[in-house]
């Protein structure tokens, strides 16, 4: 295959100050839960992106001083010279693939925690720390400002010594001191750094100048700036001072990286924002500056990318999430393998790694975060040493990925599913409001499978134990998924809830199968706490039903704080007119009403409802596996070496868990160790600390 000439413009070099990006693909800074704690894993993850064709590969936020400690979040660090070698691991591996390495220096002031360093945080003015820690940041003196400038300059010099080609000055996401000085709500100073816009821009101008003087001979200096905070006059906005700020600094940085604040606006999930959603907010910047501009928009379509360039919106296609879902996205466009692009679905599971201080994960790309830990590559899997015949039962996310990866390894695979339409829960959930892009999990795998002559697919075939034994494959994989419980058992209810055996009780599976309550109001009981309850509420409202949303938690969809959906969900449900009752457990359903109890005091209340939709827990659909396990003595007679249960059929979880389970099965398929040895060993590399 060869590159489509329509996309040639994407592979033109771009001059950024003293360095040159070999093409227009720019992996902008993104968090990953590895940072200073797992430098080998971080370097390997970034290196794969450089190998995949990204001309610039950036770090995440990089702390420059202990008084800007971001614990418990695991970011990069350049506190002193001892932090240079871990970051040099990354630059060496990125450079080995011909890409530029960029670093995002940050000092977060009142959005720091200092939980590890125990230093006092600094801010433009006295103010509480933003993220709920019961401590305050103190107002900076002029001496503090001089210290900060020196810390930033020293960090830039260390970054240059570590081998970085582009040094970021960070003024975005409501997370960095230069932005806090810009904000009138945070900057209440009356000296030369406060008051007028020119004064509030002063620190950012000085830091840009300091950085260019310190490293600008060989390193480009980028400015990451949030043009809109959606806070009206209280924040940076297009209707306020945003355009003036860009105008005052127009050609000072070598590169403008423009986006939205806060992070939940910049990386909005696909449920609430489509590809290129930031264009209306950032397209004007190139009209103000002569320097190149990079922006983001969860770009996965090369046609959309080309439009951004030709329309003068940006010079470089920035990406975080698309580079996570497919580190080889640029290379696939370059070689004409457009159909092979593993498109980001915008679920934001990647963001949950940073939010939970754990290594990054991706629903589409199960190798993300495993490049060093397990040695997994997103494109390459070793071929099997000998031919193997495998039957995969179930074509949901786990079964599809197991079949695809096994097929890539050269196994003879038969994939069978009871449903006429493949994809399992992915297919069904992608029909819900806002989740259409999730179907990419199914579609990418089906396209790959259809190119494999060694894979046969049989939908609309329900297999029983005798059918499986009679197939006489060497290896059987059961990936039959899970079903939602109807009895109300879950995190808050240790026993079935009285009245849930009634006809008026529905499960998510009923809604996904098209069986909706005929009358409202519907009491939706969400003891799951993630996205599905709120999506189902939206679906019921679309059907014209009144919805009362009840949860035993203190907030709606609490775990979605980790995927940046939380605020959007709160606003959506209220806009739809959904009645919300938090911190209440559901005690019983009587056909025309439900009885609730306050989770914190037990006070009871009655809520009128015609039906209940219970979103609590799931049970594995493992009947076939259990039937086969009961007949294990007969396996050898049918030529069966192993039967494994994976994904939701083993332990229900996220779609990301199911995809990972399928991929892991295929990767470890030829592990010759006995089952006990496999279970007793640590299944990945760990960083070793040796006492000196």
Class of domain 486-619: alpha beta
Percent of the chain scoring above 90 in pLDDT: 95
* DSSP letter, residue 633: G
Interacting residues of 413 by C-beta distance below 8 A, sequence separation 6+:
390, 391, 392, 403, 406, 407, 452, 454, 455, 456
* DSSP letter, residue 559: G
At residue 1, does pLDDT exceed 90? Answer: no
Task: Dump pLDDT digits (tens) for 243-275.
Answer: 999 999 999 999 999 999 999 999 999 999 999
Task: Dump pLDDT digits (tens) for 546-602.
Answer: 999 999 999 999 999 999 999 999 999 999 999 999 999 999 999 999 999 999 999
Check if the beta carbon of residue 328 is closer than 8 Å to that of residue 337.
no
65, 152, 173, 657: the catalytic one is 173
Q: Is 81 a catalytic residue?
A: no
Q: Is 173 a catalytic residue?
A: yes
Residue 452: pLDDT band (50, 70, 90) is: very high
Residue 437: pLDDT band (50, 70, 90) is: very high
At residue 673, does pLDDT exceed 90? Answer: no
* Chain centre distance of CA 139: 35
Residue 215: what are its φ and ψ, rounded to 5°?
Answer: -135, 0
Percent of the chain scoring above 70 in pLDDT: 99
Query: What's the pLDDT score for residue 14?
Result: 98
At residue 540, does pLDDT exceed 70? Answer: yes
Q: Which CATH superfamily is domain 5-355 in?
A: Aldolase class I (3.20.20.70)
Q: Is 266 a catalytic residue?
A: yes
Residue 132: pLDDT band (50, 70, 90) is: confident
* DSSP letter, residue 4: -
- State the SS3 of 47-106: HHHHHCCCCEEEEEEEECCHHHCCCCCCCEECCCHHHHHHHHHHHHHHHCCCCEEEEEEE
pLDDT mean across residues, the chain: 96
At residue 689, does pLDDT exceed 70? Answer: no
Task: Dump pLDDT digits (tens) for 621-664.
Answer: 999 999 999 999 999 999 999 999 999 999 999 999 999 999 99
Task: Dump pLDDT digits (tens) for 5-63.
Answer: 999 999 999 999 999 999 999 999 999 999 999 999 999 999 999 999 999 999 999 99
At residue 426, does pLDDT exceed 90? Answer: yes
Number of other CB atoms surrounding residue 196 within 10 Å: 9
Residue 254: what are its φ and ψ, rounded to 5°?
Answer: -85, -15
Query: What's the pLDDT score for residue 677?
Result: 79
Q: Is 31 a catalytic residue?
A: yes
257, 266, 326, 527: the catalytic one is 266
Number of other CB atoms surrounding residue 348 within 10 Å: 23
* CA pair distance 293, 226, nearest whole angstrom: 13
Residue 358 is encoded by which pair of tokens? 């754990």
Burial of 99 (0-12, 13-18, 19+ CB in 10 A): buried
Cis status of the peptide bond prior to 72, with omega within 30 of 0: yes
- State the number of CA atoms in the 13 A half-sphere of 690 facing the CB: 1
Residue 217 is encoded by which pair of tokens? 């001979």
Query: What's the pLDDT score for residue 682?
Result: 87
Beta strands per DSSP E along 166-319: 166-171, 220-228, 255-260, 293-295, 316-319
Domain 389-481+621-671 belongs to what architecture? 3-Layer(aba) Sandwich (3.40)
Q: How far is CA 128 from CA 141, 175, 179, in A?
A: 17, 14, 16
Number of other CB atoms surrounding residue 54 within 10 Å: 30
Task: Dump pLDDT digits (tens) for 310-326.
Answer: 999 999 999 999 999 99
Residue 690: pLDDT band (50, 70, 90) is: low
Residue 679: pLDDT band (50, 70, 90) is: confident
Per-residue pLDDT averaged across 179-200, rounded?
97
Domain boundaries, the chain: 5-355, 389-481+621-671, 486-619
At residue 692, does pLDDT exceed 70? Answer: no
* CA pair distance 290, 277, nearest whole angstrom: 24
Per-residue pLDDT averaged across 604-609, rounded?
98
Query: What's the pLDDT score for residue 648?
Result: 98
Query: What's the pLDDT score for residue 502?
Result: 85
Angle of CA points 201, 202, 205, to nearest 5°:
85
Task: Dump pLDDT digits (tens) for 508-522.
Answer: 999 999 999 999 999
At residue 496, does pLDDT exceed 70? Answer: yes
* CA pair distance 274, 121, nearest whole angstrom: 37
At residue 483, does pLDDT exceed 90? Answer: yes
Residues in the chain: 692
Query: What's the pLDDT score for residue 691?
Result: 53
């Amino acid at each position: 295959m060869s590159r489509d000439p329509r996309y040639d413009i994407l592979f033109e070099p771009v001059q950024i100050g003293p360095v040159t990006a070999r093409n227009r693909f720019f992996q902008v800074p993104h968090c990953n839960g590895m940072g200073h704690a797992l430098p080998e894993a971080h370097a390997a993850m970034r290196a794969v992106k450089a190998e995949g064709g990204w001309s610039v590969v950036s770090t995440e936020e990089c702390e420059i001083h202990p008084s800007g400690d971001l614990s418990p979040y695991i970011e990069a660090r350049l506190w002193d010279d001892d932090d240079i070698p871990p970051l040099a691991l990354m630059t060496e591996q990125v450079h080995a693939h011909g890409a530029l390495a960029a670093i995002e220096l940050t000092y977060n002031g009142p959005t720091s925690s200092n939980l590890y360093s125990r230093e006092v945080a600094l801010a433009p003015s006295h103010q509480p720390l933003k993220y709920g820690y019961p401590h305050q940041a103190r107002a900076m003196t002029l001496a503090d400002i001089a210290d900060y400038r020196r810390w930033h300059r020293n960090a830039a010099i260390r970054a240059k010594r570590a081998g970085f080609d582009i040094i970021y000055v960070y003024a975005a996401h409501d997370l960095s001191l230069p932005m806090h000085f810009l904000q009138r709500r945070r900057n209440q100073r009356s000296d030369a750094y406060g008051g007028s816009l020119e004064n509030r821009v002063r620190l950012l101008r000085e830091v840009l100048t300091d950085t260019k003087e310190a490293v600008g001979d060989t390193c480009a200096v980028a400015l990451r700036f949030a043009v809109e905070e959606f806070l009206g006059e209280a924040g940076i906005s297009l209707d306020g001072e945003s355009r003036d700020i860009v105008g005052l600094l127009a050609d000072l940085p070598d590169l403008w990286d423009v986006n939205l604040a806060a992070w939940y606006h910049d990386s909005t999930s696909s449920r609430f924002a489509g590809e290129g959603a930031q264009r209306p907010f950032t397209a004007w910047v190139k009209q103000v500056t002569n320097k190149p501009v990079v922006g983001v928009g969860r770009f996965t379509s090369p046609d959309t990318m080309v439009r951004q360039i030709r329309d003068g919106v940006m010079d470089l296609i920035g990406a975080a999430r698309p580079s996570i879902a497919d580190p080889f996205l640029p290379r696939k466009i370059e070689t004409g393998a457009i159909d092979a692009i593993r498109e980001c679905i915008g679920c934001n599971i990647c963001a949950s790694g940073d939010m939970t201080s754990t290594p990054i994960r991706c629903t589409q790309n199960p190798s993300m975060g495993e490049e060093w830990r397990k040695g997994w590559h997103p494109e390459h899997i070793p071929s099997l040493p000998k031919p193997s015949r495998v039957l995969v039962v179930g074509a949901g996310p786990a079964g599809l990925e197991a079949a695809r990866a096994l097929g890539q390894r050269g196994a003879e695979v038969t994939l069978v599913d009871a449903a006429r339409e493949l994809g399992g829960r992915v297919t069904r959930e992608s029909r819900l409001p806002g989740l259409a892009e999730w179907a990419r999990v199914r579609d990418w795998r089906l396209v790959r499978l259809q190119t494999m002559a060694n894979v046969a697919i049989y939908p609309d075939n329900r297999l029983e134990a005798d059918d499986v034994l009679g197939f006489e494959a060497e290896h059987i994989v059961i990936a039959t998924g899970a079903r939602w419980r109807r009895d109300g058992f879950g995190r808050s209810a240790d026993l079935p809830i009285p009245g849930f055996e009634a006809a008026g009780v529905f499960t998510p599976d009923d809604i996904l199968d098209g069986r909706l309550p005929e009358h409202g109001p519907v009491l939706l009981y969400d003891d799951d706490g993630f996205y599905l309850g709120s999506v189902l509420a939206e679906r019921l409202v679309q059907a014209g039903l009144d919805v009362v949303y009840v949860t035993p938690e203190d907030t709606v969809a609490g775990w979605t704080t980790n995927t940046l959906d939380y605020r959007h969900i709160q606003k959506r449900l209220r806009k739809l007119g959904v009645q919300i009752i938090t911190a209440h457990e559901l005690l019983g359903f009587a056909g025309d009403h439900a009885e609730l109890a306050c989770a914190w005091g037990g006070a009871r209340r009655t809520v009128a409802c015609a039906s209940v939709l219970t979103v609590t827990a799931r049970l594995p659909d493992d009947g076939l596996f259990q039937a086969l396990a009961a007949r294990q003595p007969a396996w050898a007679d049918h030529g069966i070496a192993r039967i494994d249960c994976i994904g939701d059929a083993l332990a229900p979880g996220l779609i990301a868990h199911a995809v990972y389970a399928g991929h892991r099965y295929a990767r470890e398929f030829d592990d010759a160790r006995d089952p006990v040895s496999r279970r007793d060993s640590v299944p990945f590399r760990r960083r070793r600390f040796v006492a000196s």
